[in-house]
Amino acid sequence: MTSTQAVAVYGAYGHTGRFVVAELRRRGWTPILCGRDADKLSAFGAAYPGLELRAASAEDPAALDRALAGAMAVINCAGPFASTAGPLIEAAMRAHIPYLDVAAEIEANIDTFERFATRAREEGVVLVHAMAFYGGLGDLLATAAMGDWPSADEISIAYGLDSWRPTTGTLVAGQVSRQRRDGRRVVFKNGQLSYASGAAPVTDWTFPPPLGQQPVIAEFTMADTVTIARHLKAPEIRSYMTVAAVKDLTAPDPTAPSASDDSGRSSQTFVVEVVVRRGSEERRAVASGRDIYAFTAPLVVEALARVLRGEVKTAGVFTAGEAFNARSFLAALCPEHLSLDIG
């Protein structure tokens, strides 16, 4: 199949991949359902008669080439991205098509820049990574809040999740990241990423109503710190996560997300507040919505649409804030997927 509307979705049967497939179809694209497990792919594909199913191991370049054949782009939803991003990017460059992923793994995102920035420019291929709740949203909010400031003294990102029921993919990816950093925490100070040991500090953050003041874990660094630091100048990037969400994530037997409506979305709600400070001045951007995994789908599909419309003028590896007009992008998600306040 060769179609100007065909988009390969790798990891289509995963929790986030299912939302991405549904969003592509809603917007008129034809997903090509791809993944590592042929049985899971077949079971998922039964709900979508007429769509192509293409099983391919990330360790098999020829199979990946077949999986991407005829697609206008590929969206990688299969973690851990430390294992899948490299092979899928290589396949996208061989096919000479855009690559997008929803990687929230800090180290995997760093790898993408270090390994592929130069090659992607030389090959003339656009790679937009971390187009997910973690990595994409915070980057867009920080970019929008920064506005015309060339630099800031500090960027703070506060994640107000009322709960966090992690998927199996989230748990596996977290385990891979912890192993790569020997259990240490990632912090961004003095203009660079570094590692810290010991427990992260706990403080309070006052979110906009109705969430209000909440206890938060400070130095809870997520992929947004990596994406923001690639193109916004600030020596300090601080991250905060509600204690309730961290308790859910780190529970001995964590509960997986469960659907609360026909779309498959959970009842989880989120507020993300970004504060950019320069001297005594502050600028803020606040976004709120529902279900961090479901929200990733309209985020990455909006990015896909903009890439294929030619909004990214040069080849290379980009984050959301680098690639797109942040205010325009965020506005496109409102009000269906996001409530937004940029001050």
Lowest mean pLDDT, pick from 97-101, 167-171, 172-176: 172-176
Q: What is the pLDDT of residues 212-223, one digit of tens each?
A: 999 999 999 999
Could you tell me how many residues make up the chain? Answer: 343
Average model confidence (pLDDT) for the chain?
96
pLDDT at position 3 over 80: no
The DSSP line for 42-101 is HHHHTTSTTS-EEE--TT-HHHHHHHHTT-SEEEE--S-HHHHHHHHHHHHHHHT--EEE
Query: Does residue 235 have a cis bond before it (omega within 30 degrees)?
Result: no
Tell me what pLDDT residue 178 has. 84
CA 27 to mean position of chain CA atoms: 20
pLDDT band of 176, cuts 50, 70, 90: confident
112-168: pLDDT as tens digits: 999 999 999 999 999 999 999 999 999 999 999 999 999 999 999 999 999 999 999
- pLDDT per position as a tens digit, 78-88: 999 999 999 99
When pLDDT is cut at 50, 70 and 90, the band that residue 4 belongs to is: low
- Whether the pLDDT of residue 174 is over 60: the answer is yes
Task: Give residue-wise pLDDT tens across range 41-59.
Answer: 999 999 999 999 999 999 9
Question: From CA 155, how far away is CA 234, in angstroms rounded?
Answer: 7
Has residue 207 got a pLDDT over 60? yes
Q: Tell me where in the chain the CATH 3.40.50.720 domain(s) lie.
A: 6-132+296-327
The residues that bridge with 54 in the sheet, in sequence order, are 34
Give the separation between CA 92 and CA 109, rounded to whole angstroms: 17
Q: What is the pLDDT of residue 171?
A: 92
| Residue 183: per-residue pLDDT | 85
Residue 343 predicted with pLDDT over 90: no
* pLDDT at residue 229 in the model: 96
pLDDT digits (tens, 9 = 90+) for 241-292: 999 999 999 999 999 999 999 999 999 999 999 999 999 999 999 999 999 9
Q: Give the homologous superfamily in CATH for domain 133-291+328-342.
A: Dihydrodipicolinate Reductase; domain 2 (3.30.360.10)
Q: Percentage of residues in the chain with pLDDT exceeding 70?
A: 99
Q: Say which range, 9-23, 81-95, 133-147, 189-203, has the weakest mean pLDDT.
A: 189-203
**CB neighbour burial string for 147-171, b if at least 16 within 10 angstroms, e if fewer:** eeeeebeebbbbbbbbbbbbbebbe
Q: Rounded to an integer, what distance in angstroms lies between the CA atom of residue 67 and that of residue 133?
A: 26
**Among 294, 310, 305, 308, which residue's Cα sits nearest to residue 329?**
305
Residue ranges, comma separated, of all CATH 3.30.360.10 domains in the chain are 133-291+328-342
Beta strands 126-128 and 99-101, pairing class: parallel
The CATH superfamily label for domain 6-132+296-327 reads: NAD(P)-binding Rossmann-like Domain (3.40.50.720)
At 252 the pLDDT is: 92
What integer is the mean pLDDT of 207-213? Answer: 93
Q: Whole-prediction pTM value?
A: 0.96
**Is the per-residue pLDDT at 2 higher than 50?**
no
Output the pLDDT for position 210: 87
Does position 198 have pLDDT exceeding 90, yes or no? Answer: no
Percent of the chain that is helix, strand, coil (3-state, to 5): 40, 25, 35
Under the banding of pLDDT at 50, 70 and 90, the label for residue 180 is confident
Q: Which residue has the tokens 């990017």?
A: 89
